[in-house]
A and B are shown apart, each in its own frame.
Chain A
Amino acid sequence: MYAFSREQNVVELGGVLFGGQPGQNPTVLFGTLFYGKQWASLGKGSLENAKSLVEAQDAVGDELGIPGIVDIYVKDEGMLKKEIDLVADSTEKPFSIDISASELRIKALQYLDEAGLLGRVIYNSINLGITEDEVLALKEHAPAAAILLAYNPKDTSVDGRIEILQTGAGMIALGEKNMGLMELSERVGVKNLIIDTGATPFGQQSAETLRAIPVMKNEFGLPVGCAIHNTLESWVWMKKNPGRGEIYGYCDSAVNALVPLMSGDFIVYGPIDSHEIVFPSIAFVDKLMAEGAADYFGAEIGENHPYKKLE
């Protein structure tokens, strides 16, 4: 079990706490919504299904004392407003926007500002694909928090992942000046920063995804987590296994539980549909970690934590 001598900054957003010493606060779970072919068109049925998934995640989170965040995946500009509106109306919690293309991230920021929702938004993510236009958009429409994605395709070691945060590894510049994601985010004025270690598949130093968590917490004192589910998703054996459905669920539950064990503060755990299998395993680990932190370090644990909330 880890404890850090460096002070750990806790980010508070809409009543959800990210970070702190291991065991202190529950792990925050991001469930991704609208990822995959089934969301290709958003008819009435799909929207009702999406709403029920958001509510179900909130319900299981409230029951177990594990905060759930909806991670809104947007692929198509035509869906942008509809997706954001649905989530914003279905939950009172903060939510994240998860968008691959920089141009679409800019449009999302503009809309979120227009809709008065920036104060609830976790921007997922500021990453090596950031453009000058996106920097300007972030300055103009600053989200409440942002995830910095420490994926460095040049070097997937822990050092390489830290390099993208600190120096940009020669791939990130503002004007003529090279800089890391950390400095860039501070310059655009995003106040609350959260670090995603950038999960990599087997063969690309996948274990460094988890090893980076305590190293980065110690280095930066910020909340750190990852989407280790992506490593599972890319596992060739699993893809080829004919009985994948059921087995996959067991693995997903176990794989996500590795993150709090490694002192992680949040997990992007995969499709929100998996909330039923992921939340209980995380509640178990969180309760275990909190008991350790309380017994060993005398940590004071909040009433709503699974440690106190669950028998």
Chain B
Amino acid sequence: MIPCNVIGSYPPVLDKSKYADAYLSGGMRDPSGEMIRNAVNSQLEAGIDIISDGQTRADFISLFARNFKGVLMQRRPVVVSEIEYKNPVTVEDQEFVRKIIPKETMLKGIITGPYTLAKYSENRFYNGTEELAYAYAEGLNNEARALDGVVDFIQVDEPEYSIDYPEYAGGLLDTVFKGVSKIRMLHSCGDVSHVFEDMVELNVDVLEHEFAANPELLNTVKRIDFKQKLGYGCLRSDKDRVEPVDEVKTIVRRALDVYPPGKILLNPDCGLRNLPPRVAFQKLRNMVEARNSL
């Protein structure tokens, strides 16, 4: 059966009255545990095979950027001195998830990619984007190695690749994944048709892209041989509309016309953080149902 996968982020959901009461009574609570638990339970209830922690703690840039020495987190990260990895960013959350999910459920660790971090940053220290991106990559390697003992997959998110693909992308990913034994995933949303031929050369096991918003991408992808599995985006993550099961099946069949089921994983196009919670849940549910009825 084709595994159902998520890209990572999920809408943060809280029992607001509990937090309002606690705050006003002088007992401020850290809501992270509840947000993670809600995201995980929703994914499990939807029937997802490879789940994430929901990345509910913060947006994917500030989550990592603020945990590097040398980076000031202002409106955007500002790099003012040599970058140094301080502490694990997501490991504690992933350990928490591991404790609350069934043993057979597969768990994905997610790392914001060094190139995307570099492009979002204001660079006041390094000589150019490449040097900065490698500095981030070295730091992120600590996170990847720390996650290696906790999760089943490690995904690097590089949305910037669809806009500006660096010729040193391979070197960056090798740096992040150095010493990592788990399955390596690369997620890049947007239209990657102009760089897909280069991306297949990357040393990763799964390439995850958006095919629901960019159906034409499949025409490019199918002309190119590649060894990796394909994370096939079959749900829009930028639209509130819940795709009916039959529509998802139609999108998935396009991929199955080209590839055997063992070559693909199904996932939304991107993270679902910005969708209303019930919409995010129903989209995942319909993806699982579509997969089950194929």
Contact (Cβ within 8 A) B20 A127: yes
* Minimum CB distance partner of A178 in chain B: B276
Chain B's interface: helix, strand, loop or mixed, by majority? loop
| CB within 8 Å of A: which B1-32 residues | 11-12, 14, 16-17, 19-21, 23-26, 28-31
Contact (Cβ within 8 A) B24 A100: yes
* Minimum CB distance partner of A168 in chain B: B16
User: Which of A55-63, A84-92, A198-206, A296-304 lies at the binding interface?
Assistant: A198-206
Q: A102 vs B35: C-alpha distance in the bound complex, in angstroms? A: 23
Range, interface on chain B: 20 to 34
Knowing A100-B24, A129-B21, say if A203 contacts B30 (CB, 8 Å): yes
B62 touches A (CB below 8 Å)? yes
Contact (Cβ within 8 A) B20 A129: yes
Range, interface on chain A: 20 to 34
**A169-183 to B contact mask, C-beta < 8 Å, 1/0:** 011100000000000
A233 touches B (CB below 8 Å)? yes
* Minimum CB distance partner of A129 in chain B: B20
**A38-52 to B contact mask, C-beta < 8 Å, 1/0:** 000000000000000
Contact (Cβ within 8 A) B20 A200: no
Contact (Cβ within 8 A) A127 B28: no
Q: Which B residues are CB-close (under 8 A) to A170?
A: 11, 276-277
Chain A's interface: helix, strand, loop or mixed, by majority? loop
Q: Which of B11, B20, B21 gathers most chain A CB within 10 Å?
A: B20
**B166-204 to A contact mask, C-beta < 8 Å, 1/0:** 000000000000000000000000000000000000000
* Minimum CB distance partner of A36 in chain B: B26
- A contact residues vs B (CB 8 Å cutoff): 35, 98-102, 125, 127-129, 149, 151, 153-155, 157, 170-172, 198, 200-201, 203-204, 230, 233-234
**Given A170-B277, A204-B28, 18 new contacts (CB under 8 A):** A100-B20, A101-B21, A102-B17, A127-B20, A127-B24, A128-B19, A129-B19, A149-B23, A151-B19, A153-B14, A154-B31, A154-B35, A154-B56, A155-B58, A157-B58, A170-B11, A171-B14, A201-B28
